[in-house]
């Protein structure tokens, strides 16, 4: 079977182009320029790259962006004060606090005090609850980016068995809920697998769609995949590389080289899901500036 490579980079560029055109129109009409702020704590290499990419993407589509880089040693109180400052800054339409945070800071506390109407990551309990209940909400960027790929590649999901591997708050859990919704894409029968799942390969072999978000490089091997399955790889683990100039390379959760030839569709790493996460964040920020979710 011919496999189609799902090009997240190209798709995200198309979305960014659409956003840029809308921003140009807003500017022409003298409207409010969307403004995204990002808080980064510490110097984790992966997080630095992700946040820088988010800020660069803002510039590319004509948004205003503010990067707030805090020391690893910042106290929880100081970070919460910064979040409150952004809550009260009328020019900031939406903001994110890049995860993971240092161990001495509670991500739950941070997510609870940011204003739901500025929570463009969709992590606040109010946005999560509204998403579950089909009320207008900011949808989490990575799962929403995956839905956008399934939509733009016209991949049938209705009635299919979707196996999500990984139950994180950011990807696996919301993804499983979104794939089960009465929507397009959606209407899947969903199985959510995780580290305690017994006979995981047996379950994945029955999947029409596999969404791997477990954070273990090359976890999904060819023997776990049904011929013709759609495989979405959310993994982005940095591993040491002797051949790359940067000294590392990104590895997905799927053993691409042996799995790809069995699939109908597959996302590469890099260039699959990753760029779509940023495109989704920009879409949420645009919705925030237009007050589309919370009027």
Which parts of this chain interact with ligand GUN (CB under 6 A)?
Answer: 96-99, 121, 141-142, 170, 277
Of 96 and 229, nearer to ligand GUN (C-beta) is: 96
Q: For the chain, where are the alpha helices, taking DSSP H only? A: 8-28, 45-61, 76-87, 107-113, 125-132, 141-152, 172-180, 200-204, 256-259, 273-289
Q: Which residue of this chain has its Cβ atom nearest to ligand GUN in the complex?
A: 99
**Residues with catalytic roles:** 54, 98, 121
- Going by the annotation, the residues of the binding site for NADP(+) are 166-168, 236
Radius of gyration of the chain, Cα coordinates, nearest whole angstrom: 19
Phi, psi (deg, nearest 5) at residue 119: -85, 75
- How far is residue 139's CA from residue 178's CA, in Å, rounded to a whole number? 9
Q: Compute the least distance from the CB of residue 230 to ligand GUN, in Å.
A: 22
- Going by the annotation, the residues of the binding site are 166-168, 236
Q: Compute the least distance from the CB of residue 10 to ligand GUN, in Å.
A: 21
Of 53 and 264, nearer to ligand GUN (C-beta) is: 53
Of 204 and 284, nearer to ligand GUN (C-beta) is: 284
- How far is residue 21's CA from residue 40's CA, in Å, rounded to a whole number? 29
Q: Compute the least distance from the CB of residue 127 to ligand GUN, in Å.
A: 13
Contact 165, 204 (CB under 8 A): yes
């Amino acid at each position: 079977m011919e496999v189609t490579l799902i090009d997240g980079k190209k798709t995200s560029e198309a979305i960014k182009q659409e956003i840029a055109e809308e921003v140009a129109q807003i500017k022409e009409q003298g409207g409010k320029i969307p403004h995204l702020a990002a808080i980064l704590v510490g110097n984790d290499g992966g997080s630095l790259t992700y946040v820088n990419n988010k800020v660069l993407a803002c510039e590319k589509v004509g948004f205003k962006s503010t990067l707030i880089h805090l020391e690893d040693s910042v106290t929880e109180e100081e970070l919460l004060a910064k979040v409150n400052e952004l809550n009260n800054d009328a020019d900031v339409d939406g903001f994110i606090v890049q995860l993971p945070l240092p161990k001495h800071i509670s991500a739950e506390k941070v997510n609870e005090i940011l204003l739901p109407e500025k929570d463009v990551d969709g992590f606040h309990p109010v946005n999560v609850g509204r998403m579950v209940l089909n009320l207008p909400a900011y949808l989490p960027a990575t799962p929403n980016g995956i839905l956008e790929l399934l939509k733009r590649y016209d991949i049938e999901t209705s009635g299919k068995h979707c196996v999500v591997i990984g139950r994180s708050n950011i990807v696996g859990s919301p993804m499983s809920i979104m794939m089960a919704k009465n929507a397009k894409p959606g209407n899947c029968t969903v199985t959510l697998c995780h580290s305690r799942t017994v006979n995981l390969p047996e379950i994945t072999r029955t999947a029409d769609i596999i969404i791997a978000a477990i954070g273990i490089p090359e976890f999904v091997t060819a023997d776990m995949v049904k011929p013709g399955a759609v495989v979405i790889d959310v993994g982005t683990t940095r591993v040491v590389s002797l051949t790359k100039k940067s000294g590392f390379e990104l590895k997905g959760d799927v053993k691409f080289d042996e799995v790809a030839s069995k699939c109908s569709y597959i996302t590469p790493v890099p260039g699959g899901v990753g760029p779509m996460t940023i495109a989704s964040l920009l879409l949420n920020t645009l919705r925030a500036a237009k007050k589309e979710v919370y009027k």
